[in-house]
């Protein structure tokens, strides 16, 4: 009996040792500089790896913003460092058209990025309401594919938007895309009527070609997908209500949706940040969600999807918008996009803790108790990303790349704390297999600092 107990003890100890070693191995990353050419290699905040993790896509900016003056989309091989050009804008000037903020589809060799309207010039420069989604199949570089249709000429077209789209995120199956949107028609109307404002909102694209009449001015274009706004915004939110005057920095809920409180499954939903007015009429930001129907082509009676010359585009019939956090101070911290666990059970966001540090928090898409996930003595400094196995959230903080266990709440510094002039910037983005993290550093060469891509590889 004693021998049996002793054997059992050593067996359990071995299992614990293996678990600890696995954890230790996970936390051991080797850092390499992947790009070195003397220009910018700017990563988007998420989804930069190809489906097979062999390539990372980026634009050639040297700082956040500046898309309107950027002309190139490239990708770099994660093993060899080989660089391939995917796209160049034509007729590029300081006014546009511009290209940037590139993401990889999770299921096919296709990248997607912001592209300014093709006729950009001094009188009609790149802007929030003057950009569209362009894709490139990497086997056919330099061949632009317009995904969202655009039509600013009445009569407007259902499935086409009338302004500027931006910051694209692919759904888990790669079929849908969510993004922020600014309406050109309302923007122009606001120049004549001060009561009208161009309010940022959220929209999605779904499979379905949309054809727009040919336009020699290049303001309009047909698209490979059907687009619709899915968040309601208003110029005058009522204090203490769930009205919002800005919807932004969204993310898909789950790879295949989430489970509602009644047990029903919601196939598609987008979580986003919404600016409300509290009882004191102060603006704070809370977490909202829109449940999206499988068919977004149907409009509610009297609320056309495409909008009118004096009204915004409307959400499709069946969209349900809800506020899911009710906090004293709302979301606080650097700009970031909401992220969700794969099964949709938790939405992650940033806010300040009781000590004033910006931390990672989580909440169910059904609302309820908010959980604090990180407990650092410093603030998260940029966007967050969740590991493919849903175990960790990654971010930049305290001049390092960090990960925090979503269940354990333990934080791990993956890179040494660097000097301010070489600290990691932006987001730390997971590869699809969870074995790599990509991020930016600004490196000086020949008297100029350029944004370069660095890679953390797990083990060895």
450 to 31, 40, 92, 362, 422: CA distances (angstroms)? 18, 5, 21, 35, 11
Domains of the chain: 345-460 (2.120.10.30)
Determine the pLDDT at residue 418.
87
pTM of the model: 0.93
Whole-angstrom distance, CA of residue 71 vs CA of residue 22: 44
Q: What is the mean pLDDT of the chain?
A: 93
pLDDT in tens, 231-276: 999 999 999 999 999 999 999 999 999 999 999 999 999 999 999 9
Whole-angstrom distance, CA of residue 270 vs CA of residue 365: 10
Output phi, psi for 420, to 5 deg. -60, -35
Q: Which of 20-34, 122-136, 161-175, 183-197 has the lowest mean pLDDT?
A: 20-34
**Encoded tokens for 163:** 């302004």
Determine the pLDDT at residue 14.
33
Determine the pLDDT at residue 17.
31
- Three-state DSSP class for residue 424: strand
Q: Using alpha carbons only, how large is the chain's radius of gyration in Å?
A: 23
Output phi, psi for 231, to 5 deg. -130, 140
Question: What average pLDDT does range 380-390 have in this prediction?
Answer: 98
Tracing tokens 């990372």 back to the chain, one arrives at: 56
Determine the pLDDT at residue 289.
98
Q: How confident is residue 295, by pLDDT bands cut at 50, 70 and 90?
A: very high
pLDDT at residue 24 is higher than 70: no
Q: How confident is residue 28, by pLDDT bands cut at 50, 70 and 90?
A: confident
pLDDT in tens, 315-363: 999 999 999 999 999 999 999 999 999 999 999 999 999 999 999 999 9
Work out the widest C-alpha separation in the chain, in whole angstroms: 90
Question: What average pLDDT does range 131-160 have in this prediction?
Answer: 98
Determine the pLDDT at residue 26.
57
Q: How far is CA 457 from the centre of its chain?
A: 23
**Encoded tokens for 405:** 């266990």
pLDDT at residue 121 is higher than 60: yes
Q: What is the dihedral sign for C-alpha 193, 250, 254, 146?
A: positive
pLDDT at residue 301 is higher than 60: yes
Determine the pLDDT at residue 319.
98
pLDDT at residue 399 is higher than 60: yes
pLDDT at residue 21 is higher than 50: no
Question: What average pLDDT does range 420-442 have in this prediction?
Answer: 97
Helix (H) or strand (E) holding 246: strand 246-252
* DSSP type of residue 127: B
Determine the pLDDT at residue 459.
73
Output phi, psi for 459, to 5 deg. 75, 155
Determine the pLDDT at residue 172.
97
Whole-angstrom distance, CA of residue 25 vs CA of residue 280: 51
Determine the pLDDT at residue 75.
98
Question: What average pLDDT does range 88-111 have in this prediction?
Answer: 97
Determine the pLDDT at residue 11.
34
Determine the pLDDT at residue 120.
97
Percent of the chain with pLDDT over 90: 91
Whether the CB-CB separation of 389 and 395 falls below 8 Å is answered with no
Q: How confident is residue 27, by pLDDT bands cut at 50, 70 and 90?
A: low
């Amino acid at each position: 009996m004693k021998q049996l107990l002793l054997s059992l003890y050593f067996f359990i100890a071995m299992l614990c040792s293996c678990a600890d070693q696995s954890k230790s191995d996970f936390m051991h990353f080797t850092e390499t500089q992947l790009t070195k050419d003397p220009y910018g290699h700017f990563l988007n905040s998420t989804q930069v790896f190809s489906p097979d993790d062999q390539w990372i896509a980026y634009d050639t900016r040297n700082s956040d913003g500046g898309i309107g003056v950027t002309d190139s989309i490239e990708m770099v091989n994660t093993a060899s460092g080989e660089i391939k050009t995917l796209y160049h804008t034509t007729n590029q000037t300081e006014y546009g058209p511009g290209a940037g903020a590139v993401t990889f589809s999770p299921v096919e060799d296709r990248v997607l990025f912001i592209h300014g309207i093709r006729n950009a010039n001094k009188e009609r420069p790149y802007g929030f309401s003057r950009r569209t989604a362009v894709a490139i199949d990497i086997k056919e570089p330099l061949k632009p594919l317009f995904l969202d249709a655009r039509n600013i000429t009445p009569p407007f077209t259902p499935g086409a938007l009338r302004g500027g789209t931006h910051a694209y995120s692919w759904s888990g199956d790669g079929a849908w895309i969510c993004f922020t949107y600014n309406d050109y028609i309302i923007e122009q109307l606001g120049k004549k009527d001060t009561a009208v404002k161009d309010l940022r909102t959220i929209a999605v694209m779904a499979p379905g070609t949309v054809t727009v009449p040919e336009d020699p001015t290049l303001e309009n274009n047909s698209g490979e997908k059907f687009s619709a706004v899915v968040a309601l915004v208003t110029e005058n939110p009522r204090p203490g209500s769930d009205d919002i005057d800005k919807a932004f920095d969204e993310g898909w809920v789950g790879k295949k949706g989430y489970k509602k409180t009644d047990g029903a499954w919601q196939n598609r939903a987008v979580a986003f940040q919404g600016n409300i007015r509290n009882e004191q009429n102060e603006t704070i930001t809370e977490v909202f969600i829109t449940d999206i129907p499988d068919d977004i082509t149907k409009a509610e009676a009297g609320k056309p999807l495409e909008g009118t010359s004096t009204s915004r585009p409307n959400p499709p019939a069946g969209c349900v918008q809800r506020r899911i956090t009710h906090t004293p101070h709302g979301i606080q911290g650097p700009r970031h996009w909401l992220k969700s666990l794969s099964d949709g059970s938790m939405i992650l966001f940033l806010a300040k803790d009781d000590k004033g540090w910006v931390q990672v928090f989580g909440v169910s898409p059904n609302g309820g108790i908010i959980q604090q996930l990180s407990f650092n003595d410093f603030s998260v400094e940029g966007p967050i990303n969740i590991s493919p196995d849903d175990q960790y959230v990654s971010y930049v903080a305290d001049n390092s790349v960090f990960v925090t266990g979503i269940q354990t709440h333990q934080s791990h510094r993956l890179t040494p704390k660097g000097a301010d002039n070489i600290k990691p910037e932006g987001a730390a983005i997971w590869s699809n297999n969870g074995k790599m993290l990509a991020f930016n550093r600004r490196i000086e060469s020949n008297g100029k600092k350029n944004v370069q891509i660095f890679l953390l590889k797990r083990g060895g």
